[in-house]
Structure 1
């Protein structure tokens, strides 16, 4: 067969190009266009829009073990986040099942908190579950790419390039099917959670849309109402909401956010009422009327008065729950009168919301309250306020470590939706406390009224059969309270509630907000508070900088509440181990605490924050004395800290067959019995390294007000 000169030269050129391929980057670049083409076609066509929108090459990832930089050859990305990290090798170099590839790829995926990782040699690609570890027994699936490709020099042939592009798009199809399956499972969990959580959110949103119109009108006509809302949002969210009448679109958005929060707080009261009504009917203790509001009402004041009647009715017949049925400022916001006197369908919307609440089972609040809490705020507000729900298995570990006896006094200084305190109440009852006693010895402090209402809901409904239900939920800034000091909370049986002076356990997940981002008045107050404590109690607080997160100050302040021997269990930012102010916190902890363990995960983040987290477990020791820069004589100089790196999801390490509050007992025991280091090298659950505390932390200097960045 006669070949033209152009064909011969073309083949010669192809051979030269093929012979020049010496690394995977060139070959990996070929899969970028098919990824983008597929995404664009899905967006324009009738098919379901693409979930994977792009592929990126050579993203640099830090190895958490060695600190060196790894190269993630290809990362598949969705709209906002990475989905899969893929290790790319030439076909003549490695098999996709080669442990060398899986170990490297797993490390890259785990460092970024990805669920899946891939290994690819262009002949085929394997997808693996990060949860199965670096040496899994089998992949999720192996997908063919260029089946007869034995050497990278053949990759430039047109048929191979075409096959690669086509099969790569089919591979992405399979990954997206897995994404759909994960999402479907999540929706199924939401549907199975008691009650219909998504339906409740929708109903609250419907009521809020009507309320937002009235709120926007009132803001425009009443400066004092405007100022009240701005203050609530500033105090409870740490963000500035202007509610500017001259900017209608922004005013509409801000008013809706305020309305959703206010309507949600009212809804929590109705959820408590419904649960109590069901409980009273079951055991015959009392009989509450069915909730009902005039569906044709157009005046919000009439709806508010009707609900107030039900609150009074519940207090009278139960002889309890005064706190839960006392309206607050957000109730007034939800039912603010219409400035224009225009008719509205406020009655219909609240009738619809009440019907949903009345027809649902609100028992088992721990299963649904945290999700409601996190979903109420949009991503911007969650980030601004550091609101992130800590999964129950992590709270199980904290409670199992921190609470040793049924009569331990416990505090969460930033309670959120009450995950930690409800876990602690359950643990205390398992250790012999009655529900009523456990509530009286568990203190929750929360700045945001809507979050505090959820904490109260979580604690009250944990046992709606209890004779009394007076949870110590204090709506306040933690830094405006003091050990032994009075709070604004007044309970029917005991009167004004005072903060405890000697606490056995402090647990929680303090907010991840930059200290420099809170108001100047708040910064000054915290400075003066810690300086005063330093002068009176000689506690040498860390020399923080303005770059510190607010959680660091929570650690410092919580110390004053703990008795010697009391335990601290906090979920903190990884900045504790990777920042200058983290060094200062460690130095402080090393003087006043015996640090038992610092736990993090190789394969997952403890919650969906934008930063990695860890769990700090430490015991307060006796006063070190007043000699500056001297080690605390009450800490054994040979005491070793356990650095635990989990290799399995926390949910798989706790025993889900045991009652809530007991599921992490064995886990804690095994961690502290472990010899660590080489003895645990082959443990599939974790790596544990032992480091002497005296080698890790530096001794703290005394703090003065001038030490802080103003």
Structure 2
């Protein structure tokens, strides 16, 4: 920690109990800040006692300077959540000093706003003990901040009058906090994921199904070593899940069985979702069809009866639609899910009909045609237990992040796009929507988008995601390969055969965009190092970096992806922020400097895009450039977001979303730099010969905060 940071930490005081009776002579800004911190703490304690949730939990006091007379100057207050997250901040002055006579003075507001911007806060306030004014930070640089609340705390002109009004100040301050908390809660809800409730309901249904079947399946597996080996093989091949399934370790055995059953339930849940989508969209298609409403016997204790009802419905969907066999036929772990009860006890405890009926209700309760997000892809990732998700490096990429990267990478209707690690297919779906919006046809769009996935079911899921991206269109044939990305190379002939096209398809020689979220798998867990080394050895035209043995998987993805990009093509990845400060990041940055114009490196001070992951992430925006002079003359833009992306961009499905994202990208990468931009802070670094490792920054004006928080 720097000396400056230690100074700030020492000067930041969280209220722990300040005497309520103070001599008049000590009435300065710090004293009044102590009062307000005390009142905030009392309010929090009262709410805790009443069992109420409190968003504004505490007020931290920061004293900035002490003059030669010992007077505290520029004292401010910052509100924190129960976990210490910053919520809002404000400036405090006494009413008798020039800066405090008018609580709305421009100087006071400017100081408060500057600090709120630096911290990425949506609200700030000014206070002079007599009054408090609350302001909402504007959404864009062209807009003005709005005063949204004003409270009379006490009818005083001088701070010496304040003790007589202490109780009134407490009451009015509490009311001010109540209203502020309501506004902050509204910001939290401003645009939650449109699928959050649906995903939770589907997840809970899947969890219930796996719990219902777990004991029967554990009994069945423990009695059949050959079946255990078969399930192990299927888990590795379809889901890249390294299960041991050892009944001698009962706790781990049960944990792995439950996870495997979740995978199996998800397979069927995906089919239920597709059936529901086709039920809505079938009558609207060019060649219309209808499906019968699907019902299940909620009181059934017969797993095979439930399975027969599902199989009958899925067979109907295939016959009526004339397509979607690839989505409805795969059945990994489905046989396990519908294991029959053995004996009277298991039969009495079997509630298979109830479990599957509840999942069907969750599917039926969502309006699938009106939802733009890749719900099925998100669901696939949230059903993986956290410990296994860290092991597999699987984390769902938020839609706002996906759309920013796709918008940067895909610029024309004819662009060829590659995602080298498709996961649930979110990037493929976004690329499809982007190309269609730019004017490409359904079939042309699918022919231009390529995906690669090492896990069998994820590859199948990505195929279904693409094939059903527009359920009003006739089905076409996505280019999704079940392959290790490091086994691919430009021009390679694949196993894919498309009706109407002679022979097997070959991978394009060069792509316009490589986009995605490569896995964050530690070098210790990589099982394909030989494949990686062999692939990079064939990338003869690249100046390969000399990574250390501790390099994570995403670094190799970046290097290998470079050989797939044409001159001027773009790479847009979510990667670990570790590349900016780790030893292994240095050779990577130099590699980027030799092959790309590094257009932007984006992070956020107000949200973590992968809150469950062990690492923070950044967005890496690159443009392939073969000319040395052009690369070295480039200016890298380091962008730090001050607003959650959900507050910067319109909601998914909004008519103006695409234009808004394009405009935001233009502002980030090419627009003029405004230190008071409420959305972001931008610093420029000359790329030079080493990818910007020599940090010669352009002069962007003063920092908004004097301290390093």
Tell whether the structures are fold-level matches, with TM greater than 0.5. yes
Q: Does 1:363 align with 2:357?
A: no
- 1:224-239 aligned within 5 A: none
Residue 63 of structure 1 aligns with which residue?
Answer: none
> Residue 619 of structure 2: which of 609, 615, 618 is its match?
615
Deviations along 1:1-50, whole A, 9 cap, x unmatched? xxxxxxxxxxxx999855457663x65455555545544443443x5343
2 CA distance for matches of 1:235 and 1:100? 64
Q: 1:141 aligns to what SS in structure 2?
A: strand
Residue 80 of structure 2 aligns with which residue?
Answer: 76
Retained in 2: the 8 A contact 1:239–1:384?
no
Residue 435 of structure 2 aligns with which residue?
Answer: 428
More deviation, 354-363/435-444: 354-363
Q: Once the 2 structures are TM-superposed, how far is the Cα of residue 411 of structure 1 from its aligned partner?
A: 1.4
- 1:239-638 aligned within 5 A: 255-283=257-285, 284-295=287-298, 297-338=300-341, 342-343=346-347, 344-358=350-364, 360-367=366-373, 369=375, 372=379, 375-376=382-383, 387-446=394-453, 455-474=462-481, 477-479=484-486, 481-483=488-490, 499-511=507-519, 513=520, 515-516=522-523, 518-519=524-525, 521-522=526-527, 525-526=528-529, 529-530=532-533, 533-534=536-537, 537=540, 539-545=542-548, 549-600=552-603, 608=611, 613-622=617-626, 633=628, 635-638=630-633
Q: 1:140 aligns to what SS in structure 2?
A: strand
Retained in 1: the 8 A contact 2:194–2:371?
no
1 CA distance for matches of 2:463 and 2:539? 34
The 1:413–1:659 alpha-carbon spacing in structure 2 relative to 1, beyond 3 Å, is: farther
1 CA distance for matches of 2:131 and 2:384? 43
Q: 1:617 aligns to what SS in structure 2?
A: strand
Deviations along 1:431-452, whole A, 9 cap, x unmatched? 4432122113212334566755
2 CA distance for matches of 1:642 and 1:136? 26
- Which structure 2 segments of 5+ residues have no match? 1-18, 65-73, 695-709
The 1:348–1:551 alpha-carbon spacing in structure 2 relative to 1, beyond 3 Å, is: same
The 1:54–1:648 alpha-carbon spacing in structure 2 relative to 1, beyond 3 Å, is: closer
RMSD: 4.7
Retained in 1: the 8 A contact 2:374–2:426?
no
- Which structure 1 segments of 5+ residues have no match? 1-12, 61-69, 623-631, 701-710
Retained in 2: the 8 A contact 1:506–1:569?
yes
Residue 701 of structure 2 aligns with which residue?
Answer: none
Q: Once the 2 structures are TM-superposed, how far is the Cα of residue 507 of structure 1 from its aligned partner?
A: 1.2
2 CA distance for matches of 1:206 and 1:697? 51
Q: Once the 2 structures are TM-superposed, how far is the Cα of residue 590 of structure 1 from its aligned partner?
A: 0.8
Q: 2:466 aligns to what SS in structure 1?
A: helix
Q: Once the 2 structures are TM-superposed, how far is the Cα of residue 353 of structure 1 from its aligned partner?
A: 2.8
Deviations along 1:522-570, whole A, 9 cap, x unmatched? 3xx3376246524651533334446655433322222122233321122
- 1:127-206 aligned within 5 A: 127-130=134-137, 132=139, 137-145=145-153, 148=156, 150-151=158-159, 157=163, 162-163=167-168, 165-182=170-187, 189=194, 196-206=198-208
The 1:292–1:592 alpha-carbon spacing in structure 2 relative to 1, beyond 3 Å, is: same
Retained in 2: the 8 A contact 1:424–1:661?
no
Deviations along 1:649-693, whole A, 9 cap, x unmatched? 65676677647766544555566664x45xx56777666555432
Retained in 1: the 8 A contact 2:487–2:531?
no
Retained in 2: the 8 A contact 1:423–1:661?
no
Q: 2:368 aligns to what SS in structure 1?
A: coil
2 CA distance for matches of 1:104 and 1:228? 66
2 CA distance for matches of 1:143 and 1:303? 62
2 CA distance for matches of 1:637 and 1:114? 36
Retained in 1: the 8 A contact 2:412–2:438?
yes
Residue 3 of structure 2 aligns with which residue?
Answer: none
1 CA distance for matches of 2:584 and 2:217? 42
Retained in 1: the 8 A contact 2:539–2:563?
no
Residue 64 of structure 1 aligns with which residue?
Answer: none
Q: 1:417 aligns to what SS in structure 2?
A: coil
Q: Once the 2 structures are TM-superposed, how far is the Cα of residue 364 of structure 1 from its aligned partner?
A: 4.5
Deviations along 1:471-517, whole A, 9 cap, x unmatched? 33445554455555577878777797765542221112334x3625x
1 CA distance for matches of 2:690 and 2:407? 25
The 1:113–1:585 alpha-carbon spacing in structure 2 relative to 1, beyond 3 Å, is: farther
Q: Once the 2 structures are TM-superposed, how far is the Cα of residue 346 of structure 1 from its aligned partner?
A: 1.3
Retained in 1: the 8 A contact 2:598–2:691?
no
Residue 704 of structure 1 aligns with which residue?
Answer: none
Count of paired positions: 653
2 CA distance for matches of 1:20 and 1:201? 58
2 CA distance for matches of 1:246 and 1:104? 65
1 CA distance for matches of 2:125 and 2:243? 44
TM-score by length of 1: 0.75
The 1:586–1:14 alpha-carbon spacing in structure 2 relative to 1, beyond 3 Å, is: closer
TM-score by length of 2: 0.75
Q: 1:208 aligns to what SS in structure 2?
A: helix
2 CA distance for matches of 1:650 and 1:240? 35
Q: Once the 2 structures are TM-superposed, how far is the Cα of residue 351 of structure 1 from its aligned partner?
A: 3.4
Residue 7 of structure 1 aligns with which residue?
Answer: none
Q: 2:54 aligns to what SS in structure 1?
A: coil
Residue 707 of structure 1 aligns with which residue?
Answer: none
Retained in 1: the 8 A contact 2:532–2:556?
no
Retained in 2: the 8 A contact 1:114–1:604?
no
1 CA distance for matches of 2:63 and 2:343? 57
2 CA distance for matches of 1:14 and 1:699? 54
